[in-house]
Structure 1
Amino acid sequence: MNKALVVAVCLYCSLTLAAAPVKLQVLPGQQQPVTLSRLHLNRIVTPFSAPQIRTIDQADIRIEGSVIYLSSQQEEPFVVYITPHDNEAHALSLLVTPLDVPPKEIQLSLSKQWQQKINHNKAVAKRFEEASDYQQAITEVLSKLVKGQIPEGYELSVLHQSDVQHCQQDGLIFDFSKGQQVQGHHFSVLVGTARNTTEKPLRFHEKNCQGSHTAAVAMWPNNTLHPGQRRELFILLNTPDYEAAPTVRPSLLTY
C-alpha cells in the first residue's frame, strides 16, 4: 500500500477515534477525571433533564435540555459539579483537565445504586408531603426542621450561594454563607441565620424574605431578636416545574 495512503488512513482513524463520545458512569462521592478541549466547544451529556453546573473557572457555559456545552481557555485543571435542578444533594463531580485536543463529547450516566437511591428518596418525600393538605404539609416539614430532624425522604446539602434567598430588613444581618438546603419532592427549604445588629429588640417580618417561589418563612423559636442575638431562619420554596417552563421568551414585537 502506498505509504502516503497509509499515513492518511491512520490520520483519519485517529481523528475518528478522538471524535467518538466518551462514556462515563459516575459514582457518588467520587471525582471523575476528564479531559476536554481547551480551544473548542465541548459537549457534556448528563443524566438530568435540567442540569445545573457549578465551577469557579471562568468558563463559557450553555445548557440545552440535558446537555451542557462548555468551553474554557484555562490551562490549569478545574472542578465542575453537575446537579439535577431539583436536588442539590446529588452532584456529579468532574476534575477537568483542558488540553489542546479536538472537541470532546462526554456522556455521563449514574450507577444503578445511585439512581435507585434518588428515585427511592423522591418517592418517600412525595408520600410524606402528600399525606396531608398543602398547609399542613408545610407545617410538618418546618416543624421537623426546627427540631433538628430531616423530613422523610428529604436530603440535606450545602447551600450554593447562587441559590441564596435575598432577605432585607433594617437592623438585621442575614447570613447564608454557611447555609443549608433540605430538598424534598414538592418543597425545598433554605436555612440561614439572622442577627440583630442594633441596641434594641427587633421583630423579624416574614414579608422581608419573599421570592417568586416562596411558600413560607419561619424563624425559630420566635420572631423577636434581642441586641446581638442570632436565630435560624427557614425559607420554604415550592419546587418549580422546570420541564414545563419555556426556555425562550417570545418577543412582544412579534405579535
Structure 2
Amino acid sequence: MNKAFAVVVCLYCSLTQAAAPVKLQVSPGQQQPVTLSRLHLNRIVTPFTAPQIRTIDQADIRIEGSVIYLSSQQEEPFVVYITPHDSEAHALSLLVTPLDVPPKEIQLSLSKQWQQKINHNKEVAKRFEEASDYQQVMTEVLSMLVKGQIPEGYELSNIHKPDIQHCQQDGLVFDYSRGQVVQGHYFKVLVGTAKNATEKPLIFHEKNCQGSHTAAVAMWPKNTLHPGQRRELFILLNTPDQESAPVVRPSLLTY
C-alpha cells in the first residue's frame, strides 16, 4: 500500500471514529464526565421525552423533543443538570470539559436499576392518587405535607427557577430560595415561604398564586401574617401528561 494513501486512510478512520456517537449509561446522583466541542454545536440525546437543562455556563442551549443542542465557547469545565419535564427528583449530572474537537453526539440512557426505581415510584404515586376522588386526594396530599410527611411514591427535591410559581400580593415577599418540589404522578407541589414585610397584619389570598396548572393553594398554619412573620406556602399543580408532551421536529434551516 502506498504510504501516503495509508496516512490518508488512517486519518479518515480517526475522523470517522471521532464522529461516532458516544453512548453513556448514567444514573441520577452520579456525575458523568464528558468532553464536548468548544466551538461547534453538540447534540445530547436524553432518555426523557421533554428534558429540562440547567447550567451556570453561558451556553447556547436549544431543546428539540428529547434532544438537547448545546454549544459553548467557555474554556473551563462546567456542570450540566438534565431532568425530566415533570420531575426534579432525578437529575442527570454531566461534568462537561470543552475542547477544540469536532462536534459530538452524546447518547444518554438510564441505568436499569434507576429506571426500575423511577417507574416503581411513579406507579406507587399513581395508585395513591387514584385511591380517592380528586378533591380528597388534594386535601390528603397537602395535609401530609404540612405535617412533614411525604405521600406514597412522591419524591422530594430542591426547587429550580422554571418551577417557581409567581405570586403577587402587596406587602408579602415570596421566597423560593430554599424551596422544595414534591413530585407525584398527577400532582406536583411547590413549597416556598411568604413573609409580611409591612408593619400591619396581612391576610394572604390564595387567588394571588393562580397559574395555568394550579389546582390548590394553601398557607400553613394560617392565612394571617403579623409584621415580620413567615409562613410556609404550598402550591399544588396538575402535572401535564408526559405521554402528551409535544415532540418537535427540528427545522432543517435552524442550524
Query: Does structure 2 retain, via aligned residues, the 8 Å contact 1:173–1:195?
Result: yes
Q: Aligned-pair distance for 1:242?
A: 5.0
- What percent identity do the matched residue pairs reach? 88
Unaligned residue ranges in structure 1 (runs of 5+): 249-255
The amino acid across from 1:53 in the alignment is I
Equivalent residue for 1:96? Answer: 96
Q: Distance in 2 between matches of 1:241 and 1:154?
A: 16
Query: Does structure 2 retain, via aligned residues, the 8 Å contact 1:33–1:95?
Result: yes
Equivalent residue for 1:127? Answer: 127
The amino acid across from 2:233 in the alignment is L
Aligned ranges 1:178-217 → 2 under 5 Å:
178-217=178-217
Equivalent residue for 1:73? Answer: 73
Equivalent residue for 2:251? Answer: none
Query: Does structure 1 retain, via aligned residues, the 8 Å contact 2:65–2:246?
Result: no
Query: Does structure 2 retain, via aligned residues, the 8 Å contact 1:125–1:154?
Result: yes
The amino acid across from 2:130 in the alignment is E
Q: Distance in 1 between matches of 2:247 and 2:121?
A: 28
The amino acid across from 2:39 in the alignment is L
Equivalent residue for 2:239? Answer: 239
Cα offsets for 1:66-122 (capped at 9, x unmatched): 111111111111100000111101000000001010111111111111000000000
The amino acid across from 2:92 in the alignment is L
- Greater RCO (Cα-Cα under 8 Å, separation 6 or more): 2
The amino acid across from 1:231 in the alignment is R
Equivalent residue for 2:105? Answer: 105
Equivalent residue for 1:137? Answer: 137
Q: Distance in 2 between matches of 1:72 and 1:28?
A: 24
Query: Does structure 1 retain, via aligned residues, the 8 Å contact 2:19–2:103?
Result: yes
Aligned length, in residue pairs: 248
Q: Distance in 2 between matches of 1:216 and 1:28?
A: 30
Q: Distance in 1 between matches of 2:29 and 2:107?
A: 19
Cα offsets for 1:31-71 (capped at 9, x unmatched): 10000011111111111111111011111111111111111
After the TM superposition, which parts of structure 1 deviate over 6 Å for at least 4 consecutive aligned residues? none
Aligned ranges 1:1-255 → 2 under 5 Å:
1-241=1-241, 243-246=243-246
Q: Distance in 2 between matches of 1:102 and 1:134?
A: 52
Root-mean-square deviation over aligned CA pairs: 1.1
The amino acid across from 2:47 in the alignment is P
**TM-score (ref. length: structure 2):** 0.95
Aligned partner of residue 148 in structure 1, secondary structure:
coil
Query: Does structure 2 retain, via aligned residues, the 8 Å contact 1:161–1:177?
Result: no
Q: Which stretch has the larger CA shift, 196-205 or 146-155?
A: 196-205
Unaligned residue ranges in structure 2 (runs of 5+): 249-255
Q: Distance in 1 between matches of 2:171 and 2:28?
A: 42
Q: Distance in 1 between matches of 2:68 and 2:175?
A: 31
Q: Distance in 2 between matches of 1:154 and 1:189?
A: 10
Q: Distance in 2 between matches of 1:51 and 1:162?
A: 12
Query: Does structure 1 retain, via aligned residues, the 8 Å contact 2:34–2:97?
Result: yes
Query: Does structure 1 retain, via aligned residues, the 8 Å contact 2:38–2:101?
Result: yes
Q: Aligned-pair distance for 1:222?
A: 1.2
Q: Distance in 2 between matches of 1:168 and 1:86?
A: 24
Q: Distance in 1 between matches of 2:90 and 2:245?
A: 22
Q: Aligned-pair distance for 1:246?
A: 4.7
